[in-house]
Amino acid sequence: MRIFKTLHWKLCILSVLLALTISVWRVDAAFIRGPTNYLVGVGISDVTGPAADVNMMGYTMLSQKVKGIHLRLRSRAYIVVDQNTGKRNVFASVDICMASTPVRRLTLTKLSEKFGDMYNDLNVAISGTHTHAGPAGFLQYTSFQILSSGYVKENTETIASGIFDSIVRAHESLQPGNIYVASGDLADANTNRSPYAYDNNPQVEKDQYKTNTDTEMVLLKFTTTDGKVLGSVNWFPVHCTSMYNNNTYISGDNKGYAGYLMEKTFNGPDTLPGTGSVHAFAQSNMGDVSPNTLGAFCEDTGEPCEYKTSTCNGKNELCQGRGPGWTVSDFESTRIIGERQAKKAMELLDNAVTPVTGSVDYRHQFINMPEYSFELNGNNVTLCKAAMGYSFAAGTTDGPGAFDFKQGDNSTGNAFWNFVRGAIKKPSAELVKCQEPKPILLATGETTFPYAWGPAITDVQVLKIGNFVILAVPGEFTTMAGRRLRKAAKETLVKNGVIGDDGIVVLAGPANEYTHYVTTFEEYTIQRYEGASTIYGPNTLDAYINIYNDLSKSFADGITPNPGDPPPDLTGKAITLLAAVIVDVPPIGKKFGDILQNVDANSTFTPGQQVSIQFVTGNPRNNHFRDDSFMYVQKLDESNGQWVNVRTDGDWSTRYSWLDNSKASVTWEIEPETVAGKYKIVYQGSNKLLTGKIEKHSGESLEFFVEKS
């Protein structure tokens, strides 16, 4: 029943979106052919890594391991070239929890091999959408690797290859074009999950804003000179934590679905995901911003959680945020929060008529944060070595902490954690003083076994596209922290004549590297999860404001700031405890590619029903089938007898499930817009032999019919 209701609702939305699309085309056809001084390019590719065995990145849940694919993860890239100066900027929004130094380095290395120094540290920004439903292991510091059994090279390489491909495609599509900007309010897609900390900000400051989260979505639309839409990118703050911390399917979460839905709407229901016009839903200042818009409740009693601590009877494990689809599933909440963002973005795209004009420029630096000193209210202040407070271990209402970080606990069952557990240093007196009032749980900045536990050196970056400025930040800024940074940077940019009063400044991140959270000083003193995770101490935000002000000023001075020393490369000595796939063995009497559960011969399905098959295959880690798929739904084209791919494992309606013991299943929930006709499901996989050789295999289901219900 529920399925039918959902599908009808989906159909409804789809037609609204289609109508919007049509009106977009009408507007564009009549559009002014303004003089352009930009070349613009957009590109999309696949960054889906291992679909088995690896922990998910984000929730710090040791038990949350990947076991299949719901939505494929994408990288969406946008290039703008200033034709007057030849200067160019790249912004890539990637369905990963955060960007990282290994991913960034590998991507830039690939770019330099192909393009020389055209794309480099200065002009390429890589920003994560913060999905908590993607495989981990792509960060280089110890504390991030505890959950992934070390460094996962195969994932890092897949992510970097996908980002690289998206940038290459954007480069290859460069053409004279225009960029337009629009912004508007989206009220029902986010909520503040730490209002107790937010409320500690000064009343006069809070009074300037109507809500305790930013509800503005800002969108850039890229078109050809005659108005054809190439793609769009928007920034809106909301955690990609609609999927719960017990989910095992790879997913781009609410922003991944929003991008998928907008692209499907534009490109047509039977186009394959990852093709056609490109629409990114990029992340912004979402540090304290949850998609669980109904609030946080105790799972046992159904009562709201305790306000200050988000606990139930003193315990955090039972306090869970509820998304709008919580009575159905986390998939449903993901769909609703994604759809709300997609609808708003379609509307903004339709209304984006204000051109972006002016020169393209960029600034980037590496900053050693613990050594950074600056003047604050007349005092010379230096930041602290990194440390995490006790509330970090408690987690948040989006994913209550179940990962016991406490020292001396023997029972985590994680090989990497057992290996490094004894290495955690007692914080020095100096660190305790510097981080006050944070009670220190993990002195990550003072712990170096087997290598550094957290970043000291991080990227800071500003991209300027005319009067539109992107602050790419290496962490999760809370609502108010983001507002302060944007406001300060804009004032500096305007005062120095870099942009006009009508200029727009957005915050994008977690970009380039990950340094956890950044709260305001006042929020820090409350020491909820976000404050406990503000790693360089109480003055972290003020330091960033100082740094981005300096970068903003340098545009006017024409000075290239000191690039700074890059972070170390730890991937060479990185420990990997994730067991390799040794060999895949089919069940007795079966061979790879055999089908175990088929559709019935000559069967007929109607929309809302599910088609399901199971087959013998190898571990999906053997080959990620990037920019491809483990399965395709094919439709027979009666006019020529050809089978045409109409769905992949990256579609919302399909799921690929790894079932262990050399078995996988595939399901397709038939959507209402599905055209009647003859269909089949084809699948592929690869298996590893004892010799180490990897073989491909494939198969297909019986043919079946889809009729209109």
Ligand X SMILES: *[C@@H]1O[C@H](CO)[C@@H](O)[C@H](O)[C@H]1NC(C)=O
Looking at the annotation, which residues are catalytic? 290
Q: From the CB of 418, what's the least distance to ligand X, in Å? A: 10
Of 539, 548, 538, 541, give the one whose Cα is nearest residue 518.
541
Q: From the CB of 248, what's the least distance to ligand X, in Å? A: 8
User: Sign of dihedral through CA atoms 469, 474, 478, 480?
Assistant: negative
Q: Cα separation of 106 and 320, whole Å?
A: 37
Smaller CB separation from ligand X, 24 or 599: 599
Q: Cα separation of 250 and 69, whole Å?
A: 5
Q: From the CB of 410, what's the least distance to ligand X, in Å? A: 4
Smaller CB separation from ligand X, 203 or 602: 602
Is 8 a known ligand-binding residue? Answer: no
Q: Cα separation of 432 and 419, whole Å?
A: 26
3-state secondary structure of 137: coil
Contact 525, 531 (CB under 8 A): yes
Q: Name the one residue in this structure whose structure tokens are 């491809």.
A: 628
Query: In sequence order, what are the residues at sequence separation of 6 or more whose Cβ sits closer than 8 angstroms to the Cβ of residue 586?
Result: 592, 594, 616, 662, 687
Is 697 a known ligand-binding residue? Answer: no
Smaller CB separation from ligand X, 244 or 362: 244
CB atoms within 10 A of CB 336: 24
Q: From the CB of 54, what's the least distance to ligand X, in Å? A: 18
Contact 472, 206 (CB under 8 A): no
The distance between the two most distant Cα atoms of the chain, rounded to a whole number of Å, is 80
User: Sign of dihedral through CA atoms 510, 515, 519, 521?
Assistant: negative
Query: Which of left, alpha, beta for 581 (phi over 0: left; psi -120 to 50: alpha)?
Result: beta
Smaller CB separation from ligand X, 501 or 600: 600
Smaller CB separation from ligand X, 102 or 445: 445
Residues near ligand X, by CB under 6 A? 244, 246, 299, 320, 373, 375, 380, 382, 408-410, 601-602
The token pair that represents 277 in the structure block = 């016009």
Strand 663-669 versus strand 610-616 pairing type: antiparallel
Q: From the CB of 330, what's the least distance to ligand X, in Å? A: 7
Smaller CB separation from ligand X, 185 or 375: 375
The torsion angles phi and psi of 104, rounded to 5 degrees, stand at -65, -45
Is 130 a known ligand-binding residue? Answer: yes
Is 430 a known ligand-binding residue? Answer: no
Looking at residue 334, the DSSP 8-state letter turns out to be: H
Strand 663-669 versus strand 642-648 pairing type: unpaired
Q: From the CB of 234, what's the least distance to ligand X, in Å? A: 29
Indicate the annotated binding residues for Zn(2+).
Answer: 130, 239, 476, 517
Indicate the annotated binding residues.
Answer: 130, 239, 476, 517
